[in-house]
């Protein structure tokens, strides 16, 4: 009898481990699996005393109830249409956030005890256009700016999930990219007609228009200098990065791509002394801002083309470059060597966007060509995948940005929505 009781206890423990979400297991894999409890077998103990049959029946019923409750919990937590779920791909869009206080849903894989991502809210496109090409938080994290393919840029109140302003140029040009100055007072918006409009955040008025002095081309990337006095942008097709004086609206320097191909991404170093420019051939060029000299060339190993997005770590020691074929390279700026390669675990599509967390310990990479879109969170010290955030929509991720405190990640999607994720992580020193 003791042996039988031990066997029953072991079986119950195994079912509990298989069915209860978050129960530690021997191995963790970056996939979301729904595992079913073993089907109940034929009745045991037929012909034995009634007391033993009663015990077996009670054990079977207990296991079935426990397994059913756990499976139902997993289904409700991970099914977009379930009660309490937010941002369903088939839900009706209204102006403002799709948000239900207290009803939060995690659509993320994460290793137990590490980084977790919980979907807090969905900011639905107030217009009719898809493609949120660019997102940026204000310096305090209270405001979120977004550039949308419907021809407008939007300012959101993050706390209330409400739209506070819609910025549209007189000619209705479609915005491709935006950047906020460090003070959060000026929003630069680059559009498909080849111009950059500077907006005063306080008055919601356009204060200046910057037009490429050469062949007008659509801006693909923009970056303010750390002191906010300069704005750099790259243009589609002309292979140049242009440096603007924000106060005067004049061009102070032009950096020409040595490969004579389109320059797709640009980023200032945290010190402001270096400007990184990524081009379509898969190279990133480091320029001295003061004298305009090329100081280094970082070329993707193996030659995968494209540098859709580049970013310096907060310390300036690292540079991340998003290439094609689902690969992103992490460079040591001082040595010019690749110290890590992050490869998308599922779809090897073009990575459209990336951003470092304020601590520099996490690199968020948005997969632009995958459906549904996923944002991968990587550990910059170990090179390990920490979490996968999968949008509830059916489109790729085009833009990502961390809030200044690192607690929120905004992901702009191909479907016109912005998904706000709560990021929780153990404290760790910056890299």
Please state, for a pLDDT cut of 70, what percent of the chain lies above it.
Answer: 68
Q: 162 versus 86: which is more confidently predicted?
A: 162
Element (H, E) at 70: helix 50-78
Residue 137: CB partners within 8 Å, gap ≥ 6?
143, 144, 145, 158, 180, 401, 402, 403, 404, 408, 410
Query: How far is residue 292 from each of residues 241, 252, 284, 288, measured CA to CA in Å?
Result: 11, 10, 15, 5
Q: Percentages helix, strand, coil for the chain, rounded to the nearest 5?
A: 10, 40, 50
Domains within the chain, CATH numbers bracketed: 100-424 (2.130.10.10)
Q: pLDDT tens digits for 237-277?
A: 778 899 999 999 999 999 998 988 888 899 999 999 999 99
pLDDT exceeds cutoff 60 at 3: no
Tell me the per-residue pLDDT of 83-108, one tens digit each, with 9 for 90 and over.
333 332 222 223 333 333 333 333 44
Secondary element (H or E) of residue 55 = helix 50-78
- The CA-atom distances, in angstroms, between 186 and each of 56, 183, 358 are 71, 8, 21
Distance CA(377)–CA(385), nearest Å, equals 6
- Given a cut of 70, whether residue 209 has pLDDT beyond it is yes
- Over range 163-192, report the average pLDDT: 92
């Amino acid at each position: 009898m003791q042996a039988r009781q031990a066997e029953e206890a072991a079986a119950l423990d195994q079912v509990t481990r298989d069915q209860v979400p978050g129960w530690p297991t021997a191995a963790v894999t970056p996939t979301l699996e729904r595992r079913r409890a073993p089907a109940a077998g034929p009745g045991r103990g037929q012909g034995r005393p009634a007391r033993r049959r009663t015990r077996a029946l009670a054990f079977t019923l207990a296991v079935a109830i426990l397994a059913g409750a756990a499976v139902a919990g997993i289904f409700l937590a991970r099914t977009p249409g379930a009660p309490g779920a937010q941002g369903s791909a088939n839900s009706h869009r209204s102006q403002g956030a799709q948000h239900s206080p207290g009803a939060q849903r995690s659509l993320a894989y994460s290793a137990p005890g590490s980084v977790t991502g919980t979907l807090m809210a969905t900011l639905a496109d107030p217009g009719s256009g898809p493609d949120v090409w660019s997102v940026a938080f204000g310096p305090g994290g209270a405001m979120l700016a977004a550039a949308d393919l419907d021809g407008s840029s939007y300012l959101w109140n993050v706390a209330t999930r409400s739209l506070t302003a819609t910025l549209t140029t007189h000619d209705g040009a479609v915005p491709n990219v935006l950047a906020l100055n460090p003070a959060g007072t000026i929003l630069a918006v680059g559009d498909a007609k080849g111009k950059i409009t500077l907006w005063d955040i306080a008055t919601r008025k356009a204060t200046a228009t910057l037009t490429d002095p050469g062949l007008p081309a659509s801006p693909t990337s923009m970056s303010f200098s750390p002191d906010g006095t300069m704005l750099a942008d790259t243009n589609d097709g002309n292979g140049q990065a242009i440096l603007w004086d924000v106060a005067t609206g004049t061009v102070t320097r032009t950096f020409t791509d040595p490969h004579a191909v389109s320059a797709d991404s640009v980023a200032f170093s945290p010190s402001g002394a270096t400007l990184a420019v990524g081009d379509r051939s898969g190279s990133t060029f480091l320029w001295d801002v003061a004298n305009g000299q090329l100081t280094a060339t970082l070329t993707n190993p193996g030659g995968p083309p494209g540098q859709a997005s580049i970013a310096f770590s907060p310390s300036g020691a690292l540079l991340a470059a998003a290439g094609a074929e689902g690969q992103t390279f992490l460079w040591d700026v001082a040595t010019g060597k690749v110290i890590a390669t992050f490869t998308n675990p599922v779809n090897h599509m073009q990575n459209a966007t990336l951003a470092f967390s304020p601590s520099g310990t996490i690199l968020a990479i948005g997969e632009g060509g995958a459906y549904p879109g996923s944002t991968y969170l990587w550990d910059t010290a170990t090179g390990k995948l920490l979490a996968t955030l999968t949008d509830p929509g059916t489109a790729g991720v085009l833009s990502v940005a961390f809030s200044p405190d690192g607690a929120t990640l905004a992901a702009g999607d191909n479907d016109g929505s912005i998904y706000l994720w709560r990021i929780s992580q153990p404290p760790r020193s910056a890299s």
